[in-house]
Structure 1
Amino acid sequence: MASRLVMLMAAVALTGMVLALPARAGDASDVRAAISGQIEAFRSDDGASAYSYAAPNIQAMFPSPQIFMGMVRSGYAPVYRSSNTVFGALEAEGAGFRQEVYLTDQNGQSWIASYTLERQADGSMKITGCAIRKGDDLAA
């Protein structure tokens, strides 16, 4: 009985360590490529390309590139027209990842976009969500 308890405790500890592992280098480059690709598509007003980086859950809420771009223009202006992007640390979160991106809007205000992403069944990395909040500074 004691050996089963020890084995169970070891399995739980190992599971916790696996879940706490940082993202692999390939994951980091795929996450950056997805976010950067979408931001570049926003800058070019390429709705179809921007929409292609959205995960199925986002595409279900906004069923066309035009509707998606309208939502982005009205609710995510700092992401839609950022003048600067700097990537923070990537963290594993649940079945996917969280990536903080530091942005500067057209007025010099800093913003932090917190992206969530998941690898899809086809191997692609897609954006499952984004929340933005104001940063603490203005560019001079």
Structure 2
Amino acid sequence: MRRFALLFAFLIACASPAAAADDVAAAQSVIRSQVEAFARDDAAAAYSYAAPGIHERFPEAEIFLGIVRNSYAPVYLHKSFEFGEARSADGKIAQQVHIVDSDGVPWEALYTLEQQDDGSLKISGCMLIKSGQGV
């Protein structure tokens, strides 16, 4: 949890004091759309919201979906998914998400998104830890 808190604090310190409302709304829309694609098991749609760096690591949509199912189960299947604080700077957005998994266990996620050359936002990473646990 300490590493997560330090990372989020660093991103907040580097970001503007108040994130631009449209950047945050756009980032939340991208995250929400990807989560909805996971719920439908729509690998292609979920993969379309991932940044090029993720595509390089996982060159096929089905591989990406398998990684999410196995390593990010609370993101893939959950009881609640609620946006927390967000910060925006230099075309990058950090979005905190409070998640309760299907077993009722609380998690914290930190999504990072980056603006692409075409102006769209893509998810460049997601750090996930159980709430209240140190790392």
Q: TM-score, normalised by structure 2?
A: 0.83
Higher RCO by CA contacts (8 Å cutoff, separation 6 or greater): 2
CA-to-aligned-CA distance 1:18-53 (integer Å, 9 cap, x gap) = 963432111011100010001111111000000000
Larger Rg: 1
Tell me the distance in 1 between the aligned counterparts of 2:108 and 2:15.
25
Instruction: Give me the whole-angstrom Cα distance separating, in 1, the residues matched to 2:74 and 2:63.
Output: 18
- The two structures, once aligned, show a CA RMSD in angstroms of 1.6
User: Cα distance, 1:55 vs. partner?
Assistant: 0.3
Q: 1:99 aligned to 64, 87, 95, which one? A: 95
On the 8 A contact 2:111/2:127 being kept in 1, the answer is yes
- State whether structure 2 residue 84 is matched by structure 1 residue 88: yes
Residues 49-104 of structure 1: CA distance to partner in whole angstroms, max 9, x if unpaired?
00000000011100010110111111000000022111001112564111000011
Distance in 2 between the 1:125 and 1:37 partners?
Answer: 12
In structure 2, how many angstroms separate the alpha carbons of the residues matched to 1:19 and 1:114? 15
Stretches (4+) displaced over 4 A: none
CA–CA distance in structure 2, aligned partners of residues 86 and 55 of structure 1: 22
Identity %: 44
Question: What is the match of residue 36 of structure 1?
Answer: 32
Residue 67 of structure 1 aligns with which residue?
63
TM-score of the superposition, structure 1-length normalised? Answer: 0.80
Query: What SS is found at the alignment partner of 2:27?
Result: helix
Say whether the 8 Å CA contact 2:19–2:86 is kept in structure 1.
yes
Q: Find the aligned partners of 2:15 and 2:87 in 1 and give their Cα distance.
A: 11
